[in-house]
């Protein structure tokens, strides 16, 4: 199979890489390299940021009506042609097409939110704060902002930020994951078609060099990062050290607490959907079921029954779950199954060596269920990011909450129960940023904000919703007096009335 090149998108045009450095892009269901993505060098980083910087003043000064109209046009293109984007995502990430369409729809919610950003950008006005003095505030864009995104949602995660940043009047430089870089180029073309002026949206393909370029360049005013915790921490520390506003969302280990009174069929459906959807490569995937005894045996039986019905294979066929993103990642995830065995856990269902509806060379790993996972094992403490669901048995609600609160991450969690009082207590006591009550993947809708606690976020501002608008703008407050005939007189103190 011949490989094609994935370019940058600079100043409104696809721009082939000139650094001589590239990275492979695979079709995970076929297990072959299909493309090579450009990796930017210093000159390309400079050119990308310079073109975004040059385009900024005109876009900042464009009317809100014009800016939101472009976002609305983009929404129409997305709505009409999301199938094209989904196919690109499946061919590079591996997730099944229906799931790729799902991530686009979730991203589109933020696009729709940004169509009404006028409402969020309104300022305050106080007449006569002091005699004859009015005070008012406005929110203004920041300038060039950088977005650095992970492989697992090549459309949705960039769309958490792009529409809000653009509608607010910023120029955006997106550095997508080098594992699935083509969705970004599709979105760049669509934004241009929607009427976005050249240079306002840039795609800078690359690796650490490009990230460091964004983190240190004086023209870049803010960074939104999503990825693993160690890189998120690095991005936060480096970006803030260089005077930038940074929100860096990190990894996760999401627990589902199951109380004995829960509807076990709903729990089993939810555990399978949230554990194995997108092959577990979701930051909000459930990776640990915390079963309050005596519920574990009955629940495991129901989960196993459902796992047996899952069809694993090429995402372009009618399957439930696709391959993992790379061979290396598949092998790393499979290594955790081996480790679980060594650490004394019980492998209930082993996804290694499963039969698939797809090419034998694909990066396959089937759904795996591991019971009695010791909480000291790395299988429990580390983010696995694959189709591996662990079960930890606890004696009480209190023990379950303590376990979750003792964890390093705090992205998402869920409780399953029919007891409203227990659910209410859980929402109060749990130290996690996004909580589901009989809902396994509680990703907030676009007019709330997305983000966790602890090692799942660095910085105090979450993605999209009101917090996203706040992140991509800064407030300016004016105090004004228009002279009237009664003005005058010397007074060295603060105004009193």
Which are the catalytic amino acids?
283
**Nearest distance in Å: CB 492, ligand NAD:** 52
- Nearer to ligand NAD among residue 7 and residue 141 (C-beta): 7
- Phi, psi for 257 (deg, rounded to 5): -90, 125
CA–CA distance, 219 with 314 (Å, rounded to integer): 43
- Nearer to ligand NAD among residue 248 and residue 423 (C-beta): 248
**Nearest distance in Å: CB 408, ligand NAD:** 12
Give the single-character DSSP code of 399: H
CA–CA distance, 249 with 458 (Å, rounded to integer): 6
Residue (of 99, 62, 65, 64) closest to 82 by Cα position = 99
Beta bridge partners of 225: 148, 248
CA–CA distance, 191 with 196 (Å, rounded to integer): 6
Tell me the CA distances in angstroms from 255 to 258, 288, 390, 442, 443, one per residue in order.
10, 5, 9, 12, 14
Q: Is the Cβ–Cβ distance between 3 and 33 less than 8 Å? A: yes
Instruction: Compute the 3-state secondary structure of the chain and give helix, strand, coil in percent, each to the nearest 5.
Output: 40, 25, 35
- Nearer to ligand NAD among residue 12 and residue 181 (C-beta): 181
Q: Which long-range contacts (CB under 8 A, 24 or more apart) does 294-300 make?
A: 294/260, 295/258, 295/259, 295/260, 295/262, 295/264, 296/371, 296/391, 296/393, 298/264, 299/258, 299/264, 299/267, 299/268, 299/271, 300/348, 300/369, 300/371, 300/391
Query: Which sign does the torsion angle of CA 430, 431, 434, 439 carry?
Result: negative
Per CB under 6 A, residues contacting ligand NAD are: 148-153, 157, 175, 177-178, 207-208, 211, 226-228, 231, 249-252, 283, 383, 385, 411, 452, 456
- Nearer to ligand NAD among residue 336 and residue 397 (C-beta): 336
Residue (of 399, 477, 411, 461) closest to 139 by Cα position = 477
CA–CA distance, 321 with 166 (Å, rounded to integer): 34
**Nearest distance in Å: CB 426, ligand NAD:** 21
- Nearer to ligand NAD among residue 141 and residue 154 (C-beta): 154
**Nearest distance in Å: CB 302, ligand NAD:** 27
**Nearest distance in Å: CB 174, ligand NAD:** 10
**Nearest distance in Å: CB 411, ligand NAD:** 5
Tell me the residue number closest to ligand NAD, measured at CB.
227
DSSP E strands in 7-158: the ranges are 8-10, 13-15, 22-27, 32-38, 125-130, 133-141, 144-148
CA–CA distance, 473 with 84 (Å, rounded to integer): 33
**Nearest distance in Å: CB 149, ligand NAD:** 6
């Amino acid at each position: 199979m011949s490989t094609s090149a994935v370019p940058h998108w600079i100043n409104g045009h696809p721009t082939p890489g000139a650094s001589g450095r590239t990275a492979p892009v695979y079709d995970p269901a076929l297990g072959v390299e299909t493309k090579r993505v450009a990796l930017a060098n210093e000159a390309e980083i400079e050119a990308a940021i310079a073109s975004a910087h040059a385009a900024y003043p005109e876009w900042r000064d464009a009317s809100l009506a014009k800016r939101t109209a472009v976002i609305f046009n983009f929404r129409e293109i997305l709505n009409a042609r999301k199938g094209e984007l989904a196919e690109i995502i499946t061919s590079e990430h591996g997730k099944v097409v229906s799931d790729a369409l799902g991530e686009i729809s979730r991203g589109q919610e933020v696009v729709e939110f940004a169509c009404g950003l006028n409402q969020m950008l309104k300022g305050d006005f106080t007449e006569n704060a002091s005699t004859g003095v009015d005070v008012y505030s406005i929110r203004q864009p920041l300038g060039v902002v950088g977005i650095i995104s992970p492989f697992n949602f090549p459309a949705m995660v960039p769309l958490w930020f792009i529409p809000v940043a653009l509608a607010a009047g910023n120029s955006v430089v997106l550095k997508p994951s080098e594992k699935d870089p083509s969705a970004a180029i599709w979105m760049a073309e669509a934004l241009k078609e929607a009427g976005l002026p050249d240079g306002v949206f840039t795609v800078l393909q690359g690796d650490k060099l490009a990230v460091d370029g964004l983190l240190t360049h004086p023209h870049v005013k803010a960074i939104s990062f999503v990825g693993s915790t160690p890189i998120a921490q690095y991005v936060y520390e480096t970006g803030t050290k260089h005077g930038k506003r940074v929100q860096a969302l990190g990894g996760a280990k999401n627990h589902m607490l199951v109380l004995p009174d829960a509807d076990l069929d709903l729990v089993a459906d939810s555990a399978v959907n949230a554990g194995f959807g997108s092959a577990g490569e979701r930051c909000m995937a459930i990776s640990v079921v915390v079963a309050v005894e005596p519920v574990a045996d009955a629940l495991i039986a129901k989960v196993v029954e459902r796992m047996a019905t899952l069809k694993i294979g090429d995402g372009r066929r009618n399957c439930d779950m696709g391959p993992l993103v790379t061979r290396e990642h598949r092998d790393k995830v499979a290594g955790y199954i081996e480790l679980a065995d060594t650490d004394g856990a019980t492998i209930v269902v082993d996804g290694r060596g499963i039969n698939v509806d797809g090419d034998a060379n694909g990066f396959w790993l089937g759904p795996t269920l591991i019971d009695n996972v010791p909480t000291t094992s790395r299988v429990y403490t580390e983010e696995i990011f694959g189709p591996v669901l662990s079960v930890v048995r606890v004696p009480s609600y209190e023990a379950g909450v303590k376990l979750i609160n003792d964890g390093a991450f705090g992205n998402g969690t869920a409780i399953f129960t029919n007891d409203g009082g227990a659910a209410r207590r859980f929402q109060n006591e749990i130290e996690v940023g996004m909580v589901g009550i009989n809902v396994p993947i509680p990703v907030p809708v676009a007019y709330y904000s997305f983000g966790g606690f602890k090692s799942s976020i660095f910085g105090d501002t979450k993605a999209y919703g009101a917090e996203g608008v706040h992140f991509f703008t800064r407030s300016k407050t004016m105090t004004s007096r228009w002279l009237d005939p009664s003005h005058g007189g010397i007074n060295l103190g603060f105004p009193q009335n």
